[in-house]
Amino acid sequence: MNNFTAETRRQLKREQKARVMENLGRCIGIQLMYLVPYVLLMVILYVSVFGRAFALIAGGVSANDYQLMAALSRGLNTVWLCIALMLAITGPLQFGLMHFYIGLAHGEDVTVGTLMYPFTSLKSVWAGIRMVFTLWLRGIIWSIVPTVIYSAIVFSVAVAVSDTAQYQVIAGALQVVYLLVMIPIRVKLQTYNAGWLLLAQDENRSAWAATREASWAFRGNLMKLFVFDLSFTGWYVLIAVVLWGCILLGTVGLTAMSTGMAIAVFAAALVAALCLTAVLNGFLSAYMESSFVRVYEHLTEPSAEFYPEG
């Protein structure tokens, strides 16, 4: 196993940043394409749940509470279908996205169509579903004990402390402690995501075994992986500044200008926020994921010292 130093981290990130910039349009496109099925399902869900009730109200029908609730309850039948479809497509879409990032990390000529690759065979679809379920289950296993302990302590404090202000202070302190405890757990769970690389190599591989084997590669390097994650903090700050800056400008325009111009400025600010956020998110996701792929591969590559020249 190779040593993962700060210089290695910077070198791998520089390499991947250059590759992402060369394929920026594709990185943004595949992120938007990834979101399309979920947006469509949410629209279908919203229309099916509230559509009948809105139709009654918009049609001028004098509907009572019972009629409105009946219309809503009929729409709720679609909720389970949409949830099932979301669960069914999440695994394959995530698998396709990881294929894209793996190819990007290797300098291959990746395309946005890579996202749909797993849907070309039932084996790939099932492999994606198995991996997503495995990652979810591992997350539950690692998080359940500290979460139960935290919830029990908070409940006990709520029963024992009658003063609202004092309870809020204690509850806030407990939440901070809980979040700190969850940091190493989140880093550990991140190591399981490298299982996608092993599954991409062999779709017949057990998802549980793939995540376990992938996690082993990070033994002794969890703190370095945490520092790797922190190294992207500036980009998250930039996205937040851009998003809220555009919204703030739109809000100022909404209050300081005449009605027609104010609405136009606010709409332009929202469009700018959405476009800039989409560009930055597409870049950052590709930058982080492709860099993570190379970090894992660096840790699993045989060290050069085992192969002396001559």
Give pLDDT, residue 183.
95
**Which segments of the chain have a pLDDT < 50?**
304-310
Cα dihedral value 218, 221, 223, 226, nearest 10: -50
Distance CA 130, CA 138 (A): 12
Per domain, the residue ranges of the chain are 21-91, 121-218, 231-301
Give pLDDT, residue 272.
87
Distance CA 195, CA 210 (A): 5
Coarse DSSP helix, strand, coil percentages of the chain, rounded to the nearest 5 percent: 85, 0, 15
Report in angstroms the alpha-carbon separations of 281 from 100, 240, 275. 16, 11, 10
Give pLDDT, residue 46.
74
Token reading at 63 = 């509907």
Beta-carbon-side half-sphere exposure of residue 188 (alpha carbons within 13 Å)? 12
Give pLDDT, residue 295.
95
Distance CA 284, CA 296 (A): 18
Beta-carbon-side half-sphere exposure of residue 78 (alpha carbons within 13 Å)? 16
